[in-house]
Amino acid sequence: MDLENQKRVKDASEKYGAENLVVLIGAAEAEAAGLAAETVTAGDPTFAGPLAGVELGLRVYHAVEPEFKDEVDAQTYDDQIGMMEMVLNVDEIIEEMKNIRTEFCKFND
C-alpha cells in the first residue's frame, strides 16, 4: 500500500473512528493483498509509511471474498470483477485475508 493511501486510511480512521471503517482490497495476488491488509490492521510492516507502528485493526476484505460479493448487485459485480475472478487464485486470496483478520482485526464481526 503506497504512502498516500496509508495517509488516507489513517486520516479516515481519525475522522470517522476505526470501528466505522471497512477497507476493500483489490490486489491480484494473495501476498500483495495480505501485505495491504496487514498494513491497515497491524501497521506498515515496512515501517516506511504513515501507518508504521499504528495498529488500526480495521476490518479488511478483498473484492473477491463472499462477504463483499454477497453485498453488491450481482450484475455489477460480474461486470466489474467477474472476469478477474476467473484468473485470480481466489481461494488463496480468501485464505490470506481470513488469516490477517483473525490475527490482527480488532473489530471482527
Supply the pLDDT for residue 86.
92
Supply the pLDDT for residue 109.
62
Q: Is 47 helix (H, G, I), strand (E, B) or coil?
A: coil
List per-residue pLDDT tens for the chain, 109 residues long. 999 999 999 999 999 999 999 999 999 999 999 999 999 999 999 999 999 999 999 999 999 999 999 999 999 999 999 999 999 999 999 999 999 999 999 997 6
How many CA atoms lie within 13 Å of 77's alpha carbon, on the beta-carbon side?
A: 15
Question: CA of 38: how far to CAs of 43, 86, 102, 108, in Å?
Answer: 6, 25, 11, 15
Supply the pLDDT for residue 108.
74
pTM check: above 0.75: yes
**Closest by alpha carbon to 2, among 50, 63, 64, 42?**
50
Q: How far is CA 34 from the centre of its chain?
A: 8
Supply the pLDDT for residue 103.
96
| Rounded Cα–Cα distance for residues 88 and 48 (Å) | 29
